C-alpha cells in the first residue's frame, strides 16, 4: 500500500466527526421506541461537558439515561436536578464510584466526561 492510502489520526477524527454529525438527523425519524429497544447510557463526570452529554443523550428518543456518576456530590446533585427538570420520568441512578456502573449488565454505553488525566 502506498502512503496515500494510509489514514492518519487527524483524518480519522475528521471523518468520524462528520459521520457523527448525521446521527441527530437519523434519530429524528424515530418517534417512539419500545423500552426494551432503548439504549441505556451512563454518564461519568458531571461538569459542564458531562451535563452536556446528558442533555444531548436525553434528547434522543431511543436513549435512556440509566446512571449518573461523579465524585463531587454538588455536581452529582446539580446534574440529577437538571435531568429531572428536562425529563421528569427519568429513573437514573446516581453513583459516586464509577466501578458500580461498570459492574452493571444493563448499561449499554458509558460516556466518560472527566478530565484527560482521569481517563486512564
Using alpha carbons only, give the angle 3, 4, 5 rounded to the nearest 5 degrees. 90
Q: Is the pLDDT of residue 27 over 90?
A: no
Strands 39-44 vs 93-95: parallel, antiparallel or unpaired: unpaired
Q: What is the pLDDT of residues 73-115, one digit of tens each?
A: 999 999 999 999 999 999 999 999 999 999 999 999 999 998 7
11 part of a folded domain: no
Domain residue limits at 56: 32-118
Query: Is residue 5 in a domain?
Result: no
CATH number of the domain where residue 39 is located: 3.40.50.720
pLDDT at 1 over 50: no
pLDDT for 32: 59
In-domain check, residue 6 = no
In a domain, 81, yes or no: yes
67 in any annotated domain? yes
Q: CB–CB of 66/40 below 8 Å?
A: yes
Cβ pair 46, 69 in contact under 8 A: yes
Q: Which three cell numbers stand for residue 39?
A: 439504549
What total number of domains does the chain contain? Answer: 1
Q: Give whole-number Cα distances, 82 to 7, 47, 75, 101, in Å.
A: 40, 12, 10, 20
Look at residue 2 and tell me if it is in a domain: no
In a domain, 13, yes or no: no
pLDDT of 38-85, one tens digit each? Answer: 899 999 999 999 999 999 999 999 999 999 999 999 999 999 999 999
Given this model, what pLDDT does residue 37 score? 78
Q: Kindly state whether residue 18 falls inside one of the protein's structural domains.
A: no
- Residue 31 confidence (pLDDT): 52
Amino acid at each position: 500500500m502506498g502512503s496515500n492510502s494510509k489514514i492518519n489520526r487527524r483524518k480519522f477524527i475528521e471523518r468520524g466527526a462528520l459521520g457523527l454529525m448525521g446521527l441527530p438527523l437519523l434519530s429524528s425519524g424515530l418517534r417512539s421506541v419500545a423500552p426494551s429497544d432503548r439504549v441505556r447510557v451512563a454518564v461519568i463526570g458531571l461538569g459542564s461537558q458531562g451535563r452536556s452529554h446528558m442533555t444531548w443523550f436525553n434528547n434522543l428518543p431511543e436513549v435512556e439515561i440509566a446512571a449518573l456518576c461523579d465524585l463531587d456530590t454538588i455536581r452529582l446533585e446539580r446534574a440529577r436536578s437538571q435531568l429531572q427538570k428536562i425529563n421528569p420520568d427519568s429513573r437514573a441512578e446516581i453513583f459516586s464510584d464509577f466501578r458500580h456502573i461498570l459492574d452493571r449488565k444493563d448499561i449499554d454505553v458509558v460516556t466518560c466526561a472527566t478530565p484527560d488525566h482521569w481517563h486512564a
